[in-house]
Structure 1
Amino acid sequence: MATQTRSKPDTNLHEGLDQLNSTYRRPACATAAEAIAEWGTIREAATRRAVSTKTIRRYIARGLVQAERFGPRLIRVNLASLDAVGHSLASDAL
């Protein structure tokens, strides 16, 4: 029976992978609830702004609201960008 010799793991390879992962890692959210709350459905966005889902889709088409497609049918709206849409009527009176 021949004995197998194990070679030492290539530490340089592991260090390189760790450095690569830390360089391209997305910033982590403070909590999981914060990550979930940032994105919502079109229906949730419409309810939040008290408008129809068609209006939210128009906002997305115009580029007023940031949205991403996850798969062929699933669309998520960035709720923070939704809050930035519109302006106060008080500024028009000036």
Structure 2
Amino acid sequence: MIEVGVREFKAHLSTYLHRVSTGVALVVTSHGKQIARIEPPAITTEPKDALSMLRTLPWLRIGKGGKPQGAREHLKLRADTPPLAQTVSELRD
């Protein structure tokens, strides 16, 4: 594990992040006190594994993808319906 001060870390950010990506943990200090710990990411599951985990949740429904179906009944507007701007203006008064 590497210990580095805030100023040094800021000045050489890309170098330290590269070292973390190779598997080295990093502790950032300020005035000798630890303020942050940066570690390489944990091994993640494959997306297909994550999807199978989501399917096991009883309260979650997995969709089929694609566009939503929309309303089942189409609303028909009458010719004598006032314009939306007029309705909004009336509601503001």
TM-score by length of 1: 0.22
Larger proportion of strand: 2
Q: Which has the larger radius of gyration?
A: 2
Work out which structure has the larger RCO, using CA pairs closer than 8 Å and 6 or more positions apart in sequence: 1
TM-score by length of 2: 0.22
